[in-house]
Homo-oligomer: A and B are copies of this chain.
């Protein structure tokens, strides 16, 4: 789909802007309502806390509507979807939209199983502020046939750039396709976020936590495209730094959370100059 020539034309999101967006997030300390899967709740909360945001996992149908106007952003992640939790997610999305609270969709395993794929096709039409997935997931939501296993992850994220643009145009969301390089598009402008480390794929929940971080950055953002690209960049840069301070995926996670916590906006802003 996208060839190497096209990819090379996609500009890299500037570090200066990452620093500005991180500074904004730290100042606002957004409250992020996470409706996420059973496996990644702890890492998701710890990533948000380390970064300077405030996580809240509220799951009762009787509470999500009230909470939508308190939270600064909402995350919907369908990893371990089942009917009762899906009903809560749908209620939360309706309430978030009514309260003008931006929400982010993480379409885990879209296209793999019919139940969630159907649910995701409904959710994606309900005005998410951002959608964050891997190449297969984004291609599925954009209506493309997603190729299966065995594809190199760089090729994968690049192969979904056209799908990401189209999905952004269809839904009005900022769309992120993650891989060795992340691509972030609003349907017109597309940024590349090239940092990160493969070790992140050996720690469960780094992708899911990124979606929560996207929600944290989207909260109160005046430039959502930049906010989402900054979210990807912050996680990728922390991943690179953690990799240099660890011996494997076990020691990676503590080092990664430390790297998020100590990341300085001023250093990022100075890095481009």
Contact = CB atoms under 8 A, between A and B. Distances in A.
Contacts of A10: none
Contacts of A260: 250
A172 interface: no
B202 A49 contact: yes
Within the oligomer, what is the number of copies of this chain? 3
A271 interface: no
A80 interface: yes
A70 interface: yes
A112 interface: yes
B248 A257 contact: yes
A115 B253 contact: no
Given A49-B204, A253-B254, A63 B248 contact: no
A249 B46 contact: yes
Contacts of A70: 112
A113 B70 CA distance: 10
Interface in A232-273: 246-251, 253-262
A47 to B, nearest CB: 10
A91 interface: no
B249 A202 contact: no
A67 interface: yes
Interface residues of A, number: 57
A42 interface: yes
A231 B79 CA distance: 27
A113 to B, nearest CB: 5
Question: Looking at A39, A50, A79, A256, which has the most chain B CB atoms within 10 Å of its CB?
Answer: A39
A204 B248 contact: no
A45 interface: yes
Contact of A250 (B40, B115, B249, B255): B255
A153 to B, nearest CB: 14
A183 B248 CA distance: 30
The 3 A-B residue pairs whose C-beta atoms are closest, nearest first, are A250-B257, A248-B258, A250-B254
12 contacts: A38-B59, A42-B205, A49-B202, A50-B250, A60-B83, A60-B115, A61-B82, A62-B114, A63-B115, A67-B112, A202-B261, A249-B258
